[in-house]
Amino acid sequence: MKQKLLLICALAVSGLAAKAQDSIKVTSDAPLVITGSVDAYYKYDFAGKKFANIPTSFNNESNSISIGMIDLGVKKKVGKAAFVGELSFGPRGQAQSLPDATTGTLTGSSYHIQNLYVSYDLTDKLNVTGGYMATFIGYEVIAPTGNFNYSTSYLFTNGPFQNAGVKLTYAFSDKVSLMAGIFNDSWNTYQSTSDVSTFGAQLMVVPVKNWTAYINFITGYYSGTEFDVTTNYQITDAFKLGLNFATYSQPSLKTSPAYGNGGFTGVALYPQLAVSKAVTLGLRGEYFSAKSGNLGGTYTGVVPGESVTALTVTAAIKSGPLTFIPEFRVDNGSKNMFLNSDGKGTQAAQQIGVAAVYAF
């Protein structure tokens, strides 16, 4: 009996093996793709104070050894269907970027979701994706592994971080694709405020080899309208140039039509030069201007009608999966928008810091 069972097992295994022999696997056969990162940093503000003088989204705790987040992502694709779930734990991935599930504000977080969506390839060229996703707008992202600079731009901080919705992406070729989708009225929230009324679209083009451009548009009565161009050009093996331009119009508030009508316009340039296989140096030069209007607030410290110019010098020093990121940044406003060491208003602010990002 034992021998018969063994024989049956052996035959079954050889049958499976025969099937597996047919094709040549060209991609990883991991049952579940797991990715993630961990980041921590130290930042010193030249004003010597604890307050966040330069309003970067993350990397904002001065004179402190601080943590970013642990990011854990899983992905699985079987045939045409795929899912992605990406959770984050830590200030960067919680209160600093994600809304509280119950209040919809950034004051606390009970969920820590970066991406949670399912997708399906309707054809070889057409894909449908639905859920809560990183926004398609802008150059920079929440995950530290997705950015070259550790601090973030004004354009990033004031644009959407995430959008919940359903989108269709059609690939005309590997050089042109078009995405169009319908999203919740409010950005960065797990559920809509009233309805699903934001329209978004993205045209991806590869004008020449090594140059990719994304032309993005998002509009809705609740969250406003943003037109955004994000592009990267790997000009030589060592030199890459990125650019982000965006203009945003704030809608009037339904409850107080006198408010709103503002917005912002900005441009950021990202030249990066690999000086060795372990070290890449980069700059980010940004000009950000808040449009005149009755906003009733500021765009991260930039009041309507004013502007700021920010220059960030960053080095990325790689050692295996670990990247050290020393960074110096100086922001210069069109008027006093920062505080000096005496607590008095000043036009300029400087910070220096170092971050460590481990990717897996």
56 or 280: whose CB is closer to other proteins?
280
Minimum CB separation of residue 161 from other proteins in Å reads 10
Note whether 298 binds other proteins by CB under 8 A: no
Question: 10 Å Cβ neighbour count for 236?
Answer: 9
Note whether 211 binds other proteins by CB under 8 A: yes
Note whether 27 binds other proteins by CB under 8 A: yes
Distance CA 224, CA 290 (A): 14
Note whether 321 binds other proteins by CB under 8 A: yes
Inter-residue contact 49 to 67 (CB < 8 Å): no
Who's near 103: CB < 8 A, 6+ residues apart? none
Question: What tokens does 168 get?
Answer: 């269709």
Find, among 154, 148, 160, 146, the residue nearest to 310 by Cα: 154
Binds other proteins (CB under 8 A): choice among 1, 17, 26, 78: 26
Distance CA 73, CA 82 (A): 13
Minimum CB separation of residue 85 from other proteins in Å reads 8
43 or 112: whose CB is closer to other proteins?
112
23 or 255: whose CB is closer to other proteins?
23
Note whether 278 binds other proteins by CB under 8 A: yes
| Residues numbered 72-101 forming contacts with other proteins, rule: CB under 8 A | 73, 75, 84, 86
To 10 degrees, the CA torsion angle through 270, 274, 275, 281? Answer: 30
Scan for tokens 């820590």, then name that residue.
Answer: 112
To 10 degrees, the CA torsion angle through 300, 142, 167, 73? Answer: -160
**What residues make contact with other proteins under the rule CB under 8 A?**
21-28, 30, 33-36, 73, 75, 84, 86, 114-115, 117, 133-136, 141, 143, 145-146, 206, 209-212, 232-234, 237, 240, 277-278, 318, 320-321, 359-360
